[in-house]
Structure formats: C-alpha cells, structure tokens
A = this chain, B = another copy of it.
C-alpha cells in the first residue's frame, strides 16, 4: 500500500514545517499546515485567528474523548462542548476529508492520531535539542519576547497537553510514529531524504 498521506508532528522550532514543505514538493503532493486553518474557518464559521490560537490550547475541562465516547452522534452534542473542542471536531473532519481526497502532507493538529487507522499514512515526529531550536526560532520567527528556552518549553508543554487531551496518548512517544528524526543532528535535508525514501518504498 503506497504511503500517500504523511503526517508531521514536531517540537516547536525543529523544522517540521520546512521538512513537511520539502517532502510535499519532492513528492509532488499538496502541503497543509496553516492552509488547514482557512479550510476549517470555512467549514466551522470560526475566525481564522481563533482557530490558530485554539489549535495550541487544550481546554481545561472534562475529557474530550469521554464526550465523544458517550455521544452516539458527536455532531449533535457539539453544542455541549467547549469551543475549542468543537473546533477540534471540525478540524478532524477537514483532516479526514483531505486524506480521502488524495496524497498530501499534513503538519500537526493530531493528524497522526486522527488518521491512525489509515494504512496509507506514514507518521513522522521531528525534534531537536534546545540549542538548535532556540537558534532557529530567534533567526526564523524573530521570537524575542521571552528567552528562547522559556518559549520552547512553553510551546512544547502546550502541545503535550493538547495532544493528551484529544488523543489520550503521550506526545513524542516513539511508538506513536513510524519515524522519529532529530533534525538538529540529521539535518533538514537528510530528514527530507529519509521521509521521501520511506514513503516511496511503497510505490
């Protein structure tokens, strides 16, 4: 079975977005990161800014998965969920539909979990040490309001909590992914090579 769908989960600043873009370019397939936001905005009616924000914060409320589990039809009980949880339901549908449409690369948003049962999906986790990521976020994103280490720790923690809330799995656990790559050591280009190579094994 060809690995058509590639999900990229990543630690902030480790180059996951860049790697995802390069992989999509090399494979000649669509790339979705912030591009997802517009699609979700269209379908949900939520404002793009809210979607970007809520895409990082998990609500401090009762278990999302419990709400889904006890509901025969999540869409009909959505009004009882927090707005962030409602957003996640829309996001899930957008991601599933994109995967149905055809080959693509999707960054973040628990896509690895949402598409976990698709045999044509390859799940990748990109990470790097603090020093490498700190240099990148200052250089590429101009992240200077906080010290880089503080900013990295904060973003990583948000992602852990978000992922746990929506998947009940531990973000960054190697066994959630097919490939985990330290981009600081291996390099962005070589990470891209490895992912493309593994995806193409199935052609």
**Interface residues, chain A, with chain B CB atoms under 8 Å away:** 11, 122, 125, 127, 172-175, 177-182, 185-187, 190, 194, 197-198, 201
* Docked-complex contact B173 and A179, CB < 8 angstroms: no
**Neighbouring B residues of A125 by C-beta, 8 Å:** 174, 180
Known: A172-B173, A173-B172, A173-B173. A186 touches B178 (CB 8 A): yes
Which of chain B's residues have a CB closer than 8 A to the CB of A194? 194, 197-198
5 A-B contacts (beta carbon < 8 Å): A11-B175, A172-B175, A174-B180, A179-B181, A179-B182
| Contact assessment for A198 and B174 in the assembled complex, using a CB-CB cutoff below 8 Å | no
Complex Cα gap A32–B174 (Å): 24
Q: How many copies does the complex hold?
A: 2
- Which residues on B sit within 8 Å (CB–CB) of A175? 11, 127, 172, 182
Complex CA gap A179/B190 in Å reads 12
Residue on B with the closest CB to A126? B174
